């Protein structure tokens, strides 16, 4: 089900811009070429809206409701949505202030990107592959080694996706990274070094520096992490893109269009700090929290990975 929104709001906004520009010109201020041009352009856009609104593609949006009851903005060109596979929720005290995994991912992809949120933990259902432009598997507090029934169901769907829709971009984040690796034949288990949390430095491999996604962090290879399990052995044929002293596989690519990253490109510095506070007494001592907090920083380059992924899916659909 879809409905068009924003038409009246756009008309009102552009009309107000035109009125403001005209008001500036009529207050006795000197007539500047830039101001005159602004009026002409505003009126021209207003005429386009009134006379030929079908020519305006952005910012009119279609809102698509999935069977799971989630919403995402979808541009009028009817492009296919990106599926965000929800595999769990953050801590209640974090979601109350900052939202949940799927909201952060959608923000990273771009607010105008069409998304379909699928709750794998609740059993899906999963859409036909032909309905999607790409897939992002979100993080979770669950452990891949638990192999809960919903995880096995999701793994079967992902295996089919990777091997049948070979051109569809897929990105796994943290738990999603591990689940992808396990699905494709890699080994996932508790990291021998224990919990890794906070803002950490990464080392990109040569392939990582040239990669369409990981190349985004070449200049500032920092990222937010929180995980106990890791990909100890990458899937056969996968290429490791990043590592550090704690984790030999912080990111991998399988083929040309499937990525897994152990870190959280969707996390802001505030969310990372909130995680450290939430883990006090639940895996971290007060001293460890106090040690990690000053090291937290925004990882803007890492956060662009999601937007790059959205652009790749758009290019693929086009």
CATH number of residue 130's parent domain: 3.40.50.880
Task: Give dist(CA 125, CA 137) in Å, integer.
Answer: 15
Which is it for the CA torsion 265, 90, 64, 84, positive or negative? positive
* 257 compared with 38, residue with greater pLDDT: 257
Kind of pairing between the strands at 239-243 and 229-233: unpaired
Q: In this structure, are 84 and 20 located in the same domain?
A: no
Report the domain count for the chain: 2
Indicate whether 64 pLDDT > 70. Answer: no
Which pair of tokens denotes residue 14? 């552009």
Q: In this structure, are 51 and 121 located in the same domain?
A: no
Task: Give dist(CA 95, CA 100) in Å, integer.
Answer: 5
pLDDT tens digit sequence for 269-309 = 999 999 999 999 999 999 999 999 999 999 999 999 999 99
What pLDDT is recorded for position 318? 60
Q: In this structure, are 140 and 217 located in the same domain?
A: yes
Is residue 93 included in any domain, yes or no?
yes
Task: Give dist(CA 237, CA 56) in Å, integer.
Answer: 45
What pLDDT is recorded for position 229? 98
Cα dist from 264 to 200, 258, 310, whole Å: 11, 16, 16
Q: Within 13 Å of residue 124, how many CA atoms lie on the same side as its CB? A: 14
Q: In this structure, are 22 and 71 located in the same domain?
A: no
Q: In this structure, are 129 and 215 located in the same domain?
A: yes
Indicate whether 23 pLDDT > 90. Answer: no
pLDDT tens digit sequence for 114-128 = 999 999 999 889 999
* 199 compared with 9, residue with greater pLDDT: 199
What pLDDT is recorded for position 314? 87
Which is it for the CA torsion 138, 124, 154, 309, positive or negative? negative
* Mean pLDDT confidence for 24-48: 33
Is residue 65 included in any domain, yes or no?
yes
% the chain with pLDDT above 90 = 70
Residue-averaged pLDDT of the chain: 81
Which residue in the block uniquely carries the two structure tokens 């030999």? 248
* 3 compared with 197, residue with greater pLDDT: 197
Q: In this structure, are 30 and 68 located in the same domain?
A: no
Could you say which of 31, 55, 79 is where a domain stops?
Answer: 55
Which residue in the block uniquely carries the two structure tokens 């771009």? 110
Is residue 295 included in any domain, yes or no?
yes
What pLDDT is recorded for position 79? 79
What DSSP line would sit under the chain, residue for residue? Answer: -EEEESHHHHHHHHHHHHHHHHHHHTTT----HHHHHHHHHHHHHHHHHHH-GGG--SS-EEEEE-TTS-EEEEETT-PPPEEEEE-----HHHHHHH--HHHHHHHHH-TTS-EEEEEGGGT-PPPPGGG-SEEEEPP-SS-GGG--HHHHHHHHHHHHHHHHSTTS-EEEETHHHHHHHHHTT-EEEE-TT--EEEEEE-EE-HHHHHSTTGGGGSSS-EEEEEESEEEEEPPTT-EEEEE-SS-S-SEEEETTTEEEESS-TT--HHHHHHHHHHTBTTTB-HHHHHHHGGG----HHHHHHHHHHHHHHHHHH-
Could you say which of 34, 55, 76 is where a domain stops?
Answer: 55
Q: In this structure, are 121 and 44 located in the same domain?
A: no
* Mean pLDDT confidence for 208-236: 95
Task: Give dist(CA 285, CA 247) in Å, integer.
Answer: 22
* Mean pLDDT confidence for 219-231: 96
Task: Give dist(CA 76, CA 58) in Å, integer.
Answer: 8
Is residue 79 included in any domain, yes or no?
yes
Q: How confident is the model at residue 54 (pLDDT cuts 50, 70, 90)?
A: very low
Q: In this structure, are 13 and 96 located in the same domain?
A: no
Q: How confident is the model at residue 1 (pLDDT cuts 50, 70, 90)?
A: very low
Strand partners, 173: 261
Indicate whether 63 pLDDT > 80. Answer: no
Q: In this structure, are 166 and 51 located in the same domain?
A: no
pLDDT tens digit sequence for 90-104 = 999 999 999 999 999
Indicate whether 264 pLDDT > 80. Answer: yes
Is residue 49 included in any domain, yes or no?
yes
Q: How confident is the model at residue 317 (pLDDT cuts 50, 70, 90)?
A: low
**238 touches 75 (CB < 8 A):** no
Q: In this structure, are 44 and 79 located in the same domain?
A: no
Strand partners, 136: 84, 171
What distance, in Å, lies between the first and last C-alpha atoms of the chain? 23
Of 236, 215, 229, the closest CA to residue 177 belongs to 229
pLDDT tens digit sequence for 162-210 = 999 989 999 999 999 999 999 999 999 999 999 999 999 999 999 999 9
Q: In this structure, are 26 and 145 located in the same domain?
A: no
Is residue 198 included in any domain, yes or no?
yes
Is residue 1 included in any domain, yes or no?
no
Q: In this structure, are 72 and 94 located in the same domain?
A: yes
% the chain with pLDDT above 70 = 75
Domain that holds residue 39: 6-55
Lowest mean pLDDT among 12-26, 49-63, 75-89, 240-254: 49-63
Indicate whether 251 pLDDT > 80. Answer: yes
């Amino acid at each position: 089900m879809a409905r068009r929104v924003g038409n009246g709001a756009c008309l009102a906004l552009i009309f107000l811009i035109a009125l403001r520009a005209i008001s500036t010109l009529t207050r006795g201020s000197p007539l500047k070429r830039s101001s005159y041009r602004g009026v002409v352009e505003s009126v021209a856009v207003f005429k386009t809206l009134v006379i030929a609104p079908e020519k305006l593609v952005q910012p009119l949006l279609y809102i698509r409701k999935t069977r799971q009851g989630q919403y995402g903005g979808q541009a009028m060109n009817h492009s296919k949505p990106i599926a965000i596979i929800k595999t769990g929720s953050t801590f209640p005290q974090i979601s109350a202030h900052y939202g949940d995994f799927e909201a952060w991912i959608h923000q990273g992809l771009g607010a105008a990107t069409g998304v379909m949120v699928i709750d794998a933990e609740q059993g899906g259902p999963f859409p036909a592959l032909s309905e999607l432009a790409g897939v992002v598997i979100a993080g979770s507090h669950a452990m891949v080694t638990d192999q809960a029934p919903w995880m096995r169901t999701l793994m079967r769907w992902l295996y089919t996706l990777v091997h049948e829709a070979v051109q569809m971009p897929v990105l796994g984040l943290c738990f999603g990274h591990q689940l992808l690796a396990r699905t494709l034949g890699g080994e996932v288990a508790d990291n021998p070094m224990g919990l890794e949390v906070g803002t950490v430095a990464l080392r990109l491999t040569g392939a990582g520096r040239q990669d369409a996604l990981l190349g985004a962090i070449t200049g500032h290879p920092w990222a937010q992490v929180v995980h106990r399990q890791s990909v100890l052995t990458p899937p056969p044929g996968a290429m490791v893109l990043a590592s550090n002293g704690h984790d030999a596989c912080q990111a991998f690519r399988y083929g040309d269009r499937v990525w897994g990253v152990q870190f959280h490109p969707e996390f802001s510095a505030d969310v990372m700090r909130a995680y450290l506070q939430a883990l006090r007494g639940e895996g971290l001592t007060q001293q460890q929290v106090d040690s990690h907090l000053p090291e937290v920083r925004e990882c803007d380059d890492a956060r662009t990975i999601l937007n790059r992924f959205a652009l790749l899916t758009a290019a693929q659909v086009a």
